[in-house]
Structure 1
Amino acid sequence: MSEGKCTKFYPKEFCEETTILENGFTQYARPNNGRTVTKNGVDVDNRFVVPHNVDLVVKFQAHINLEKVNYDGMHKYLFKYVTKGFDCSMVGIHSSSGSQSSSETINEIDNYLECLCVTPNDAAWRLQQFDILHTDPSVERLPVHLPFENNVIFTEDDDLEEVIEDPNSSTTKLTAWLEANRENPSARQLTYIEFPEHWTWHNQGKYWDGRHGSQRRIGCIAYVNPSQGEACYLRMLLHIVKGPRSFAEIRTISGHEYPTFRAACEALGLLGDDQEWSNALKDAAQWALPSQL
């Protein structure tokens, strides 16, 4: 009750038959047949009846509100509870000398702990070392970059000259794919996105090796915003070009090497007319982050 009114909007209105409302909820039949029951001095009729299942009420000896669900947003309501994680609570730590004086500075990091409640079934699952998360098939993320424009990861303690001179700094999954095509003629039957299905990436040595066993893996080429120009055209070509041994061969169509990746895409008819692609670039530039413009 809140301010003398029921928060669940009881009593409901009388209704002669059960109907489905436009919002997907069910309006149950509550006929005005004159039947009433006096409880705590209040006359209760069909408007006060909570939707229920008699078998469940008798079995569990409890009040159980059971309603029909019939709207498309219900999956969000259900799955948000199983994906939002465990219940957490904030626990305060106080000294035994008494309450903290108002002059002392409150350090929330030192004085509070964020506690996690793990239920018995979850604890047993972890103790048995069962998989918490499983993805099948595994996904291999494939980077896209123009020649000598790959990302290099280093720490503030690394010597920049050593980082630049290190040959592994310029080796990526894309360049290693080109190298594998040069050294293995059998690899030239696959596109970049098909490559992880038959070859395994070794991050330690930064090289591709023939896949052994039945483990499945699929490739996923990283997204490139159209406003990035040539890198976007390169990504389009990587979906269809098989077995190139260099960046130049990626933009080689029917024996003719085109000067840019965009020209190669135009030769394959991937861009439509110039006006259509120009409009796409304008839309992409409009929504791009400032760092991408």
Structure 2
Amino acid sequence: MIIQNIVVDHLMMVGKLFSLENPVIAWSQSVIGGLYVPYSPLLLRAFDCHINIELCHSVKAIQYICSYINKGSDQAAFSIESRDEIKAFQNGRYTSSSKAAWRIFDFTIFQLSVHHENGQRVYFTDQNARERLENVRNTTLMAFFELGSRDDFAKTLFYIKVPSYYTFTNNRFNRRKKGEPIVQYPGVKKSNVLGRVYTVHSSNVECYYLRMLLHHVRGPTSFLDLKNS
């Protein structure tokens, strides 16, 4: 058996085995060198057994174990696109169906206040503070309670429906003089005015549910009457 060093593509020296031209007769058998692999006499003596050795040493043997040490730095394919977000942005106004209906029919919106008992807003200056506190003006909610105690038709209405039949002048609700007559109630006329109760956040629990009661109780005459209805 002959061992010859050869050079492969990865610039490493590896051994190549060549069989002898003439086989050797051992134990009545014909033996050729190609049937055997290199061995280490030192290992045979140390372990007292037959050990065949095959050594793999090349760049290919370690490139996946050592995190591509021969591959180079990490690379990625990318491209650059021009993106102008300012030009791509469009500013517009969105009109909902309710907004469109209001614009088409031109309904008048009347704001209705909501507050706790003795919790209405009072605006004053240093000059008229005492006068304003002694003569607190009626809010639309207070006027609604007062209206329910003197007008039978108002007792059939929810708070939000009052502006359609009454005007609010001098801190008081009065029947409208113009509009479509209501046959069942002589002297009552209806217009296209819509009432809207101010929004209350749910964190203000008592006032939030007070607003809900005003949408479900007809013609209350006081805060107590509203809560007990």
So what's the TM-score if we normalise by structure 1?
Answer: 0.39
Q: Answer with 1 or 2: which has the greater Rg.
A: 2
So what's the TM-score if we normalise by structure 2?
Answer: 0.49
